[in-house]
Structure 1
């Protein structure tokens, strides 16, 4: 099918079919009733999402635990010796780059707020402006920004990880040749705002359960309806 066939109505149908295959997504179960109640939680999520870049969830959790156990607060992380910080998060991979990205991000937040480690100011900004502010930080790309903005603030911007990108391309929601940044733009354009978060979760579930990178199992009603990849019969 052509990407031009993807109307919002068809995206809604895809969401409903994924819900029927798996189960409805409960945002409160995933992230709590009000993740913005603690101003520091947004910064913690930004730091944790930087740690998660190109690494398995288990190693992200281990690196985050080591980081927040070693340093008393965000000020201590920003002021930490670079090599010490990199060693602390080494299990997350790319430790030198991630240490630098974390310290740059914390510095940018502190300078923007006049001393506070809080992203509350992003809540009042339009989604595009908030995403632009975050991605102006070297090492913070559209996925990292979208995770923070959607998961923490509920802003309508799709976080496109490897699963979401793979399934979206196989379903031709986005062109096969699209860059990750272009995939973010395309999905933000065609997915209804209220479905951004649940569809993100459902596409990940589908990518992990059926639509894996090398051995896809297309014998399911969602693939039968929406997919025509090389693994489909």
Structure 2
């Protein structure tokens, strides 16, 4: 960890970082590690020239692959700190799923997004579709799912699937900036934005989030922010 930023890097460049069961399990382990070291933000990326080329077709039809894949996706999505996917190349199929499991996406010029499940007779789960609609809107979701469109970096950015354009170093810089922000506020903002993109029980979502909201306002960090502003210095947040 450096500057409060945890780095999770897929490392199967010979397979263009395709996800097999072992890699999915390693992703789950990596999310536990960034929790343990107290990372304030996380960058998720791929080694080599691909972010993630999708599921490894040597295993995608085997027993246990789907469970391993969705365990990995939810482990990323459920991290309490912001996760930024540095999409350094193609993110196809499970690669796009992994990218949208992150909170933010920065796309390099070589990034490509696609969900060609209908060309393969496969399907992504309802959570993935809900997340895609939440992140990029119904039109983009339909384009990817019904026309099996592939979106390059500028198109993905224009449609909201990528939040920004840049290389890995830019993503690390953004994550380092995020890591200086108030952890309780970021965790609350993340919980709220995730909750309000869902149709079920919006009133229940508000009730569940109220405690987190109040905790932000009762925290030492809010006092530190006020003091730092008065003293014209950068705040040093602790998550307390």
TM-score clears 0.5: no
- Which structure features the higher share of strand residues? 2
Provide TM-score, normalisation by structure 1. Answer: 0.28
Provide TM-score, normalisation by structure 2. Answer: 0.27
Q: Which structure carries more relative contact order (alpha carbon 8 Å, separation 6+)?
A: 1
- Which structure features the higher share of helix residues? 1
